[in-house]
Amino acid sequence: MPAVGTEDAATLEAVSDERTRVLIIGGGFGGLFCARRLGRHDVDVTLLDRGAGHIFQPLLYQCATGTLSIGHISRSLREELARHRNVTTLLGEAIRLDPGARTVTAMRPDETTFTVGYDVLVVAAGMKQSYFGKEHFAEWAPGMKTLDDALCIRQRLFTAFEIAETLPPGPERDSWLTFAVAGGGPTGVEIAGQIREVASRTLANEFHSIAPEDARVLLFDGGDRVLKSFAPGLSDKAARTLTSLGVELHMGVHVTDVGRDGVTVTPKSGGAAEQYAARTVLWTAGVEAVPFARQVAEVLGADTDRAGRISVEDDLSVPGHPEVFIVGDLVGRDDLPGVAENAMQGGLHVAACVRRDLDGKPRRRYRYRDLGSAAYISRGNALLQVGPVRVSGFAGWLGWGFIHIAFLTGLSNRVSTVFTWMAAIGRADRHHRAFMLGGATAAEQHYTWSECDETPG
Ligand SMILES: Cc1cc2nc3c(=O)[nH]c(=O)nc-3n(C[C@H](O)[C@H](O)[C@H](O)COP(=O)(O)OP(=O)(O)OC[C@H]3O[C@@H](n4cnc5c(N)ncnc54)[C@H](O)[C@@H]3O)c2cc1C
């Protein structure tokens, strides 16, 4: 087990020199599956994560819209890995790799640093939301990658209705009742559908001044159809369901500006830009590598694609550095998809490589097996695509639910999520709508976002 240093820059060294030290950066799907598979084997594993919890990202939108709590979709990594005595979990953000010294420097939440040594490094730090170089959009349009994002969206969503309730009828009130979503992939589709359901079912009878069901939800995407990764027939069905829910689809347009009052969209084919007044804008349009991954690629001299995914050998190691592996969304090879299944399989594959190295056997090449994909459209309605099998509607929803429950971390999370869904399918209410706005004397959270008004750009 590593000894934990208490001073800045103290290096955490393995007590035993004989055992291989495996350092995993990131406790998402890739890192967690790798750590679990190495648990109880003859190696010392350290799992370093900036959040100390495993987040089930596929259900973040249900947390953002009040169906599930953050407890349903996350689990402490320390708790999850407690029974693996050879695995140590550490809270810290990896900020620097020194491949010569074989150390990673990490930052604690109090901004002091420490370093961890390794013999084998597994980088499974995932991707972050990309605003395609327009970082100032983030102020107005939160993405959906972390628990903080989900809680921020929940706050903005329900606050928007509350603010509208206090305004007289007119354009300002309408803009608070207009929600713009950038990106027509699974996350954009899921959140857009959910906002319409919140408006038309959950909140329908709770307000006196406004009619929440009149809320507009606008979905913008540069492509010619939503859910491009699904077969055209399924994505057509999704579009019809979304339209019947009341989501307004705007295809073939790019969101070119985001500000306090709404969005500007420009047709991909050229033509005049249009503005939409919307006080709530959500961004699901793109991803890019986290900053640490970019530093890793730089110091290892590895190639990356435009989003920062790192090129790897066919065993997932970095060319010229067989002791460094890349796992999950960060892998830049063979157009591997950014899905949980690829991260889980990658994590298991790297664990197998480590064990084969110890046994003196040659490593195997990584082969991704596509087990299909699923997307939630609305209550009791989802798409499921497994090879030639295509299912939608209620049957799709059952398949979608089964897959998500199977991969949710922790038995209690699974059981409570199933019960919550069963309750939600027949009823309109959502029990996890609470949001925070900061203390009475210190408004840590923006309420009307007027603080942002002075932000340049
Ligand atoms: C909203 C949303 C919905 C999705 N829906 C689906 C779906 O329905 N089906 C599907 O298959 N996939 C889905 N995905 C994609 C899936 O979640 C990802 O492919 C998967 O999480 C990738 O796993 P990973 O291990 O590579 O990275 P992640 O799961 O993102 O984990 C990365 C981990 O690294 C940590 N980290 C980051 N930087 C550092 C650092 N510098 N130091 C220490 N720790 C760090 C993070 O805290 C995080 O815990 C969805 C993703 C999102 C965001």
Q: Which residue has the higher pLDDT, 227 or 429?
A: 227
Q: How many angstroms is it from 244 CA to the middle of ligand 1?
A: 31
Tell me what pLDDT residue 86 has.
97
227 and 317 fall within a common domain? no
pLDDT of residue 13 exceeding 80, the answer is no
> Domain span at residue 412?
373-427
The number of the ligand 1 atom at minimal distance from the alpha carbon of 61 is 1
Q: How many angstroms is it from 147 CA to the middle of ligand 1?
A: 11
Q: How many angstroms is it from 55 CA to the middle of ligand 1?
A: 8
Q: How many angstroms is it from 127 CA to the middle of ligand 1?
A: 7
Please name the helix (run of DSSP H) or strand (run of DSSP E) that holds residue 34, with its range, or none: helix 29-38
Quick: pLDDT tens for 263-302: 999 999 888 999 999 999 999 999 999 999 999 999 999 9
81 and 179 fall within a common domain? no
Q: Which range, 147-151, 284-288, 321-325, 381-385, is most confident?
A: 321-325
pLDDT of residue 12 exceeding 80, the answer is no
Residue nearest to atom 5 of ligand 1 (CA): 58
120 and 167 fall within a common domain? no
The number of the ligand 1 atom at minimal distance from the alpha carbon of 48 is 43
Question: Hey, what are 387's tokens?
Answer: 């090879």
CA 130-307-30 angle, 5° bins: 90
Residue nearest to atom 27 of ligand 1 (CA): 126
pLDDT band at 410 (very low <50, low <70, confident <90, very high): confident
Please name the helix (run of DSSP H) or strand (run of DSSP E) that holds residue 351, with its range, or none: helix 340-358
Percent of the chain with pLDDT over 90: 79
Tell me what pLDDT residue 422 has.
80
Rounded Cα gap, residues 318 and 326, in angstroms:
7
Q: Is the residue at 15 inside a domain?
A: no
pTM of the model: 0.91
Quick: pLDDT tens for 36-59: 999 989 999 999 999 989 999 999
pLDDT of residue 209 exceeding 80, the answer is yes
266 and 330 fall within a common domain? no
Given 79, 93, 172, 190, the catalytic residue = 190
Rounded Cα gap, residues 66 and 155, in angstroms:
10
Helix ranges restricted to H, 130-251? 137-140, 147-165, 171-176, 186-197, 232-245
For range 387-397, the mean pLDDT: 92
Q: Is the residue at 398 inside a domain?
A: yes
Query: Catalytic residue at 190?
Result: yes
pLDDT of residue 4 exceeding 60, the answer is no
120 and 210 fall within a common domain? no
Tell me what pLDDT residue 416 has.
87
Task: Answer with the one of 284, 299, 333 that is the final residue of a domain.
Answer: 284
The number of the ligand 1 atom at minimal distance from the alpha carbon of 53 is 49
Q: Give the residue, out of 339, 349, 405, with the most ligand 1 atoms within 8 A of its beta carbon, to mutate for a pocket test.
A: 339
Tell me what pLDDT residue 208 has.
96
Task: Answer with the one of 284, 313, 342 that is the final residue of a domain.
Answer: 284
For range 175-197, the mean pLDDT: 97
Q: Give the residue, out of 37, 54, 57, with the most ligand 1 atoms within 8 A of its beta carbon, to mutate for a pocket test.
A: 57
- Chain mean position to CA 443: 27
Residue entry with tokens 């959906």:
144
Q: Is the residue at 186 inside a domain?
A: yes
Residue entry with tokens 């969304």:
329
Q: Is the residue at 452 inside a domain?
A: no
Q: How many angstroms is it from 219 CA to the middle of ligand 1?
A: 23
85 and 121 fall within a common domain? yes
Question: Which whole-number Å values give the CA distances from 322 to 140, 292, 317, 365, 430, in the listed order?
Answer: 42, 19, 5, 13, 49
299 and 338 fall within a common domain? yes
Pairing of strands 120-123, 20-25: parallel
Rounded Cα gap, residues 70 and 342, in angstroms:
24
What is the average pLDDT value for the chain, to the nearest integer? 91
